[in-house]
Amino acid sequence: MSEDIEVDLVVIGAGPGGEALATGAAKAGLEVVVVDKHLVGGECPYYGCIPSKMMVRAADALAEAGRVAQLAGDVTVTPSWAPVAKRIDEEATTGWDDTIAVDRLADAGATVHHGVARLARTGRVAVELPDGTTTTYAARRGVVLNPGTRPAQLPVDGLADTPYWTNRDAVRVTELPGSLAVVGGGPIGCELAQVFARFGVRVTVVQHGPRLIPANEPEASALLADVFAHEGIRVLTGVELSAVSYADGAFTLTLDGDDGDQQVVADKLLVAAGRTPNLDDVGLETVGLDPTARTVEVDERMRAGDRLWAIGDVTGKGAFTHVSMYQSAIALRDVLGQDGPPAAYHAVPHATFTDPEVGGVGMTEQQARDAGLTVRVGSTPLEQSSRGFTHGPGATGLVKVVEDADRGVLVGATAVGPAGGEILGFLAVAVHAAVPTDTLRSMIYAYPTFHRAIETALGELA
């Protein structure tokens, strides 16, 4: 048996956070080994945020073109998926090749392996390389876990035997189907449903809960459902997918609902019904942790055990690239023995890039009430702001603020609108820094901006 190779740090999984941490640690002079079993950079650049946002950008351009008739005359657009597929292939993913990312890490001084890494007791990692050999590292400073998630497989009768899409297939599409069923009305399902619908695909969204994007305020869900209905996207809520079959190039979904069974037939099926953490095969049991758990418990320095840190989706603090990056900076400081602010999650922002965008930060009204706070809320429709009025078509949206009335600060907010994710920036500062509501009310809001609706919502606090 070969000797363990001694290094300073091993990073298991190079998602956005792992890649950044490994780069920072290597640049700080540590001997770093990074292992990824697929592509360095993780889900976000190859199958998630980046390609999906290129799709969204294209679909939004089509929608804007459709609004020209009401605003500026005639325009004729013939949608084509080819430029979208080309941008994703060439600009976003370079053909799903991570050479650039690997080289960047190597230039920073890290050693990169493509292989499967597993913890093998405290501070030790066994790396199974593609040639079948295994190398074991002993990491003096420790190990950082950033293994991320994979699409959840639904235990639905017949589904596993069909050629259904996950997000990984959806971003690689080169030919559009005539019709698409989307199972899951979360951020992935809603963003992609609207993209494909705007390119002329007949889309049905199947959501087993009562509303779309349920992590957001109910008002935001209702508004999005209205927009989807207006755009011809069929949304079936409160239904349970009980069986799927595939024959003669078509999927048949059987749905159970209060009104009995119904069937949906579509050319393609996208399943976007949540994620499964990649924790079942990283050797957690060798360091006394539970490999069946959905998350790895971490403290405010991202420590998960003796010389072990965990970052990213597997920590359960918000499955977003910005959370992975935020945690990465905190864990890096700890690895390097540097001081800095501990992790805090009272102001996690998120934006779902539908049109309108749905931005949210901190608690929803219900979460604030459940936390026992004295809650006041204020909201206003975006269309009623001067900017919404001048913007005209496409200005649908709202701003809602949630105040802890005892402290006189916002603990949550939602901004839905053409720039909902951007308006959110203001609200994120307010929640993060607990800016007194009185101070927010005493500010000057530029006229006529979308963010001026925040002032109106604050005025509605009751």
Ligand X SMILES: Cc1cc2nc3c(=O)[nH]c(=O)nc-3n(C[C@H](O)[C@H](O)[C@H](O)COP(=O)(O)OP(=O)(O)OC[C@H]3O[C@@H](n4cnc5c(N)ncnc54)[C@H](O)[C@@H]3O)c2cc1C
Residue 121 in 3-state DSSP? coil
Among residues 50, 110, 170, 188, which is the contact residue for ligand NAD, using CB under 6 A?
Answer: 188
> In this structure, which amino acid lies at residue 142?
G
Contacted entry of ligand NAD, ligand X, none for residue 238, CB cut-off 5 to 8 Å set by kind: none
86 labeled part of a ligand binding site? no
Q: Which two tokens stand for residue 61?
A: 């351009």
Q: Are 296 and 315 in contact (CB under 8 A)?
A: yes
Cβ proximity to ligand X: between 287 and 375 the closer is 287
> 339-346 long-range CB contacts below 8 Å, 24 or more apart?
342/300, 342/301, 343/298, 343/300, 343/301, 343/302, 343/317, 344/300, 345/317, 345/318, 346/411, 346/431, 346/432
Residues at the interface with ligand X (CB under 6 A) = 12-17, 35-39, 42-44, 47-49, 52-53, 116-118, 146-149, 167, 188, 278, 281-282, 312-314, 319-322, 324, 353
Residue 347: CB atoms within 10 Å = 20
The Cα–Cα gap between 230 and 200 comes to 14
φ/ψ of 57, rounded to 5, equals -60, -45
Contacted entry of ligand X, ligand NAD, none for residue 14, CB cut-off 5 to 8 Å set by kind: ligand X
- Among 298, 347, 342, 294, CA closest to 322: 347
DSSP 406-418: TTTEEEEEEEEET
Contacted entry of ligand NAD, ligand X, none for residue 274, CB cut-off 5 to 8 Å set by kind: ligand NAD
Cβ proximity to ligand X: between 333 and 369 the closer is 333
Q: Min. distance of Cβ 279 from ligand X in angstroms?
A: 9
Among residues 319, 335, 368, 409, which is the contact residue for ligand NAD, using CB under 6 A?
Answer: 319
Q: Are 194 and 170 in contact (CB under 8 A)?
A: no
The Cα–Cα gap between 277 and 188 comes to 16
The reply to whether 189 sits near ligand NAD by the rule CB under 6 A is yes
Q: Is 392 left (phi over 0), alpha (psi -120 to 50) or beta?
A: left
Q: Are 299 and 135 in contact (CB under 8 A)?
A: no
- Among 149, 237, 233, 187, CA closest to 53: 187
Contacted entry of ligand X, ligand NAD, none for residue 241, CB cut-off 5 to 8 Å set by kind: ligand NAD
Cβ within 8 Å of residue 292, ≥6 positions away: 279, 280
The reply to whether 350 sits near ligand NAD by the rule CB under 6 A is yes
Among residues 45, 123, 184, 418, which is the contact residue for ligand NAD, using CB under 6 A?
Answer: 184
CA distances from 75 to 71, 83, 391, 395 (A): 11, 19, 18, 20
Q: Which two tokens stand for residue 299?
A: 């403290």
44 labeled part of a ligand binding site? no
148 labeled part of a ligand binding site? no
Contacted entry of ligand X, ligand NAD, none for residue 184, CB cut-off 5 to 8 Å set by kind: ligand NAD
Cβ proximity to ligand NAD: between 142 and 148 the closer is 148
The reply to whether 154 sits near ligand NAD by the rule CB under 6 A is yes
The reply to whether 360 sits near ligand NAD by the rule CB under 6 A is no
Q: Min. distance of Cβ 415 from ligand X in angstroms?
A: 16
Name the segment binding ligand NAD (CB under 6 A); options: 74-82, 200-208, 246-254, 327-335.
Answer: 200-208
The reply to whether 352 sits near ligand NAD by the rule CB under 6 A is yes
DSSP 147-216: --EEEPPP--BTGGGS--B-HHHHTT--S--SEEEEE--SHHHHHHHHHHHHTT-EEEEEESSSSSSTTS
Of residues 236-275, those binding ligand NAD (CB under 6 A): 241, 272-275
Q: Which two tokens stand for residue 412?
A: 């949550």
Contacted entry of ligand X, ligand NAD, none for residue 32, CB cut-off 5 to 8 Å set by kind: none
The reply to whether 209 sits near ligand NAD by the rule CB under 6 A is yes
189 labeled part of a ligand binding site? yes
Size of the site for ligand NAD (CB under 6 A): 25
The reply to whether 351 sits near ligand NAD by the rule CB under 6 A is yes
Q: Which two tokens stand for residue 45?
A: 């650049």
Residue 215: CB atoms within 10 Å = 15
185 labeled part of a ligand binding site? yes
115 labeled part of a ligand binding site? no
The reply to whether 210 sits near ligand NAD by the rule CB under 6 A is no
The Cα–Cα gap between 299 and 310 comes to 10
Name the segment binding ligand NAD (CB under 6 A); options: 105-113, 120-128, 185-193, 447-455.
Answer: 185-193
Binding mask 272-311 for ligand NAD (x = CB under 6 A): xxxx------------------------------------
Residue 411 in 3-state DSSP? strand
Strands 179-183 and 268-271: parallel
187 labeled part of a ligand binding site? yes
| Residue of closest CB approach to ligand NAD | 186
Known binding-site residue numbers: 53, 184-191, 274, 313
- Binding stretches for ligand NAD (CB under 6 A): 154, 183-189, 191, 206-209, 214, 241, 272-275, 319-320, 350-353
Known binding-site residue numbers for FAD: 53, 313
Known binding-site residue numbers for NAD(+): 184-191, 274
